[in-house]
Structure 1
Amino acid sequence: MSGDERAQRDALIAAARSAAAAAYAPYSNFHVGAALLFADGSVVTGANVENASYGLSLCAETVAVGKVLSDGRRGGLIAVAVTGGFPGQAGQGMTVTPCGRCRQTLNEVAQLGATDPLVWCDGASPVEIRLSHLLPHAFGPANLA
């Protein structure tokens, strides 16, 4: 990894950690943040939003993707950073990866731009993996064409 790539990764993880600090997680007390990097250099973040009716809770990645799509952005996703932990401790404990639903949600944006983003999973044992490896044989917009 070049110095520029390392700096890009570190900045994206820092953005995800910052987003995690804004999480609304009164039930689990587990704050998750996500940061999405686009080819034009823009970054969109999201934090988990819990609800007293647990099934209505939103993951950080889903919140970020909702922002992206509702702003009219289509494609260009090149990297994602995800982190989590107890308040003020994002990235210090277990390594957080996108859940299955979030993998599918991220895949939607990736397929719109024909990209396979790198996913940086922050934690004590960081993981760097392509979305296609997290969600092999993904179903997406191309399957409905």
Structure 2
Amino acid sequence: MRQSLTELAVPTPGRGLHEITPQVAGWVAAQGIETGLLTAFCRHTSASLCIQENAAPEVRGDVVRWLDQLAPENAGYAHDDEGPDDMPAHLKAILTGVSLSIPIAGGRPALGTWQGIYLVEHRRAPHRRKVVLHLIGA
């Protein structure tokens, strides 16, 4: 068994689903591990990770609008230290999660045909997010 670890820096222009599949798949391929398990971990409380459809861009917009309905801004939250999108961003990160486990087969993430890996930015302002990748396998 071998292990590899890295951290991706992901610049975001603001709220939305930002695909990181090419960066993740490229790093996995470079590790030379054919079979294993990849863990991706977002090091933030106002951003998250998800696997979602990467063919129709309307899906990403629909997801963002749905999350906005579940955790709207200006809903009387006590925590608003960084503005009205601060607490809703924390709630959205709870809903979508900050880590993913992805099987590796043939040296690639074993994603379905229409699946992509996304960093979900829940804040309106641009950020530079960090995603830790840990790969274990042979």
- State the TM-score, normalizing by the size of structure 1: 0.26
Task: Decide which structure has the larger Cα Rg and report it.
Answer: 2
Q: In proportion to residue count, which structure has more helix? A: 1
Q: In proportion to residue count, which structure has more strand? A: 2
